[in-house]
Amino acid sequence: MGDHHHGPAKGLSRWLFTTNHKDIGTMYLWFSFAMFILGGTFAMIIRAELFQPGMQLVEPGFFNQMTTLHGLVMVFGAIMPSFVGLANWLIPMMIGAPDMALPRMNNWSFWILPPGFLMLASTLFMEGGAPAFGWTFYAPLSTTYAAPSVTFFIFSIHVLGVSSIMGSINIIATIMNMRAPGMTYMKMPLFVWTWFITAFLLVAVMPVLAGAVTMMLMDIHFGTSFFSAAGGGDPVLFQHIFWFFGHPEVYIIILPAFGVVSQVIPAFSRKPLFGYASMVYATAAIAILSFVVWAHHMYTVGMPVAGELFFMYATMLIAVPTGVKVFNWVSTMWRGALSFETPMLFSIGFLVLFTIGGFTGLMLSIAPADFQYHDTYFVVAHFHYVMVAGAVFSMTSAVYFWLPKWTGRMYNETMGKVHFWISFVGFNVTFFPQHFVGLAGMPRRVPDYALQFADFNMMSSIGAFVYGASQILFLYNVIATIVAGERVSDEQVWDGAEGLEWTLPTPPPYHTFEVPPQIEASPAHG
Amino acid sequence: MLRLNRNPGADTAIKLAVVACAMFAFVFVVMVPLYDVLCDALGINGKTSNTAYTAVPAAVDTSREVKIQFIATNNDGMPWGFRPQVTQLTVHPGAATDTIFYAENPTNLPMIAQAIPSVTPSRAAGYFHKTECFCFNQQPLDGMASTEMPLQFVVDQDLPKDIRTITLSYTLFDVTTMAGGTGTIAAR
């Protein structure tokens, strides 16, 4: 390693063989955006079919493939890799490390993702069609009654799981071993903390998901009966294993989003984050509780009353640390010198809408009430408030916040604000009415519905088209910034931004912090 | 300079990889058996005991009546005729009661069947004792033959007061190939 100060290699091999955390972060971000567009296209097909009652555009079987792939692509292809990309770009720069701890593994964990998704997407063109059993792939729908393409689905989940586990191991190894001298754990920026905890969740539960799909594979091809009652197995076992993975998974998605918002809100409030330590403990508490609440997704399977009560109270308990976080973000803004640039708008949008999603989650946690809400559009509305307005809004906020730092060019602020308002209105027009149709009894995953739901569904569809179109504006703004944005030379970029990444030149050189920075004795989190 | 030594991150990575592998194994060797153990221990899923209950002498509680319903179902691809003699009985807790299920093999080949019971509500599973049941053993039957299969049961006196109806459902499985017999595929 004699040539320390080389720049990036030229051409395609730069991207193929790169071990640079910034390059890999960039690839993750672009890949996840491509998946966001793909999953969004599936969503547009769903909303177009639901624009009116009756069957208009697609066959019911294809509709089911769309709901399944939309969920899988958005969760595993768009949201999760986008936050891994953010982690790659930011964690080394935030803790004063020259790169990730295991750069070659970093390259692998990215490059196995595209083939994994290619395999998943290819099922669309197979005999019998793509998986059509919902993103939760409950057995026996996904075993006895699945299309032959389910085997490709299983391997694709294996690949994505391996990628996630390698990515998380890398993040933990980086944070534990590569912090600059003086960067103690309780001085780390909150984004680093939330990812640190998220990575542990991933290492713990992605193997559980791998186990679940492996059991499916064995049931389908090797004559075992894990989930087949005929051979002494139990389909309900599948649900327990799936949600033992699935509930921590939703915090895997939302915790890094919490981290982003905890960086953005202090910057535009020009105040340090309120209650830093309590934010760290709240994040850890949420992560630990996430392991003991999984069965609240399956209240209706016929659990004993004691079980229902346990999972109900444990779930409600999560509202406490989550409430601490919301309180801290609001308190950070309290009496701050607020300004409302696009990243701040998206973060405030996150704060308001995520809180709504949190409250509907609290409603769903009530076991007796859930018997009514279960598998209705109310659930769909709830998890889109936390996944889209939570994770995606926060991710969008992050892109606007750090893009000027990454590229050295400023995005178009007016276009950014327009993007926010169209997104905000479009999102609410899409998903708010779904609460009502859900409460009135419209089931999820149906291509057709009763006439009384027609008006709200048409509203939902119009909102979805608006929200979808606003992402094109986002894409345009990002590309225009990279190609021809106004140059930024200020290291700080945002006058209120705090943290090591803002002490680097703008844009940061290919290799940063080859000499560890000096950390001041005073608390430097923000 | 640092790079010349072993990457400190590698040690962390190996430990975490071990954790990931352990979690994968955890699903198979802990979660699956634990689920079965918990279901058996708590009587969840309406799983009843697989062995005969030794009747303990106890007074018949004539002041109380419990309705017992019988359901017989064939699993996918099972061609047998399978039905209870009566679909409903009213019994007193503590009293031993006999009933019969009919089975008929309409194929030309000898087959072996196994009935799997399930009790609803699942809370009642621990209070529904079978002293004799065709479900304790595999049931062989020659082609074109039929048989009567006996069931004797006692409802426990401690059955919770709010349970007035118990449904006993049997699903009949074709286990000819598993039991080492012949001819299942032709029979289908």
Domain residue ranges in chain A: 24-503
Q: How far is CA A74 from CA A63, A150, A253, A312, A378, in A?
A: 16, 18, 11, 28, 19
Lowest mean pLDDT among A442-446, A500-504, B93-97: B93-97
**Residue predicted with more confidence, A489 or A349:** A349
Instruction: Give the mean model confidence (pLDDT) for residues B123-139.
Output: 87
**How many Cα atoms occupy the beta-carbon half-sphere of A21 within 13 Å?**
28
Cis peptide before B160 (omega within 30 of 0): no
Alpha-carbon gap: A238 to the closest alpha carbon of chain B (Å): 9
Evaluate whether A463 touches A426 at the Cβ level (below 8 Å).
Answer: yes
Q: Which DSSP state fits A500? A: G
pLDDT score recorded for residue B184: 36
pLDDT score recorded for residue A9: 81
- The string of DSSP letters for chain B reads -GGGS--HHHHHHHHHHHHHHHHHHHIIIIIHHHHHHHHHHHTGGG---SSPPPPPP----TT--EEEEEEEEE-TT---EEEES-SEEEE-TT--EEEEEEEE--SSS-EEEEEEEEEESGGGGGGEEEEEEGGGS-EEE-TT-EEEEEEEEEE-TTS-TT--EEEEEEEEEE-TTTTT-S-HHHH-
Question: What would you report as the CA-atom Rg of chain A, rounded to the nearest whole angstrom?
Answer: 23
Q: Which residues of A lie inside 8 Å of B (Cβ-Cβ)?
A: 1, 101-102, 105, 165, 168-170, 172-174, 176-178, 203-208, 210-212, 215, 226, 229-230, 234, 236-237, 240-241, 244, 302-304
pLDDT score recorded for residue A5: 56
pLDDT band at B38 (very low <50, low <70, confident <90, very high): confident
pLDDT tens, position by position, A335-345: 999 999 999 99
A297 flagged as catalytic: yes
Q: Judge: A207–B20 Cβ closer than 8 Å, yes or no.
A: yes
Alpha-carbon gap: A203 to the closest alpha carbon of chain B (Å): 5
* Residue B186 predicted with pLDDT over 70: no
- The string of DSSP letters for A355-391 reads HHHHHHHHHHHSHHHHHHHTTBHHHHHHHHHHIIIII
Residues of A in contact with B39 (CB under 8 A): 234
Q: Judge: B16–A169 Cβ closer than 8 Å, yes or no.
A: yes
Residue B27 token pair = 């699903």
**∠ Cα A387 A392 A395 (to 5°):** 135
A70 flagged as catalytic: yes
Helix (H) or strand (E) holding A486: strand A486-487
Of A183, A189, A180, nearest to A525 by C-alpha is A189
pLDDT band at B13 (very low <50, low <70, confident <90, very high): very high
pLDDT tens, position by position, A180-214: 999 999 999 999 999 999 999 999 999 999 999 99
Architecture of domain A24-503: Up-down Bundle (1.20)
pLDDT tens, position by position, B15-30: 999 999 999 999 999 9
pLDDT score recorded for residue A297: 96
Rounded Cα gap, residues A445 and A378, in angstroms: 12
pLDDT band at A526 (very low <50, low <70, confident <90, very high): very low
Instruction: Give the mean model confidence (pLDDT) for residues B103-126.
Output: 88
* Residue B74 predicted with pLDDT over 60: yes
Rounded Cα gap, residues A349 and A369, in angstroms: 28
pLDDT band at B185 (very low <50, low <70, confident <90, very high): very low
pLDDT score recorded for residue A4: 52
| Close Cβ partners of A315 (under 8 Å, ≥ 6 residues apart) | A293, A296, A365
Sort strands B111-120 and B165-174 into parallel, antiparallel or unpaired. antiparallel
Alpha-carbon gap: A304 to the closest alpha carbon of chain B (Å): 7
Instruction: Give the mean model confidence (pLDDT) for residues B68-77.
Output: 90
* Residue A1 predicted with pLDDT over 50: no
* Residue A520 predicted with pLDDT over 90: no
**Residue predicted with more confidence, A471 or A8:** A471
pLDDT score recorded for residue A304: 83
* Residue B174 predicted with pLDDT over 90: no
Q: Which amino acid is at B42?
A: L
* Candidates A21, A22, A47, A70; catalytic one: A70
pLDDT score recorded for residue B55: 67
A262 flagged as catalytic: yes
Out of A169, A241, A302, name the one closest to residue B27 (CB).
A241
* Residue A2 predicted with pLDDT over 80: no
* Residue B87 predicted with pLDDT over 80: yes
pLDDT score recorded for residue A521: 61
Rounded Cα gap, residues A124 and A58, in angstroms: 14
Instruction: Give the mean model confidence (pLDDT) for residues A396-419.
Output: 97
**How many Cα atoms occupy the beta-carbon half-sphere of A9 within 13 Å?**
10
pLDDT band at B179 (very low <50, low <70, confident <90, very high): low
pLDDT score recorded for residue A522: 56
Q: What is the ipTM for the molecules in this complex?
A: 0.87
Rounded Cα gap, residues B91 and A503, in angstroms: 82
Rounded Cα gap, residues B114 and A500, in angstroms: 69
Rounded Cα gap, residues B10 and A450, in angstroms: 58
Rounded Cα gap, residues A197 and A213, in angstroms: 25
pLDDT tens, position by position, A343-369: 999 999 999 999 999 999 999 999 999
pLDDT tens, position by position, A269-315: 999 999 999 999 999 999 999 999 999 999 998 888 889 999 999 99
pLDDT score recorded for residue B12: 92
* Residue B8 predicted with pLDDT over 90: no
pLDDT band at B180 (very low <50, low <70, confident <90, very high): low
Instruction: Give the mean model confidence (pLDDT) for residues A228-243.
Output: 88
pLDDT score recorded for residue B46: 66
**∠ Cα A131 A136 A139 (to 5°):** 75
**Residue predicted with more confidence, A64 or B124:** A64
Instruction: Give the mean model confidence (pLDDT) for residues A240-259.
Output: 96
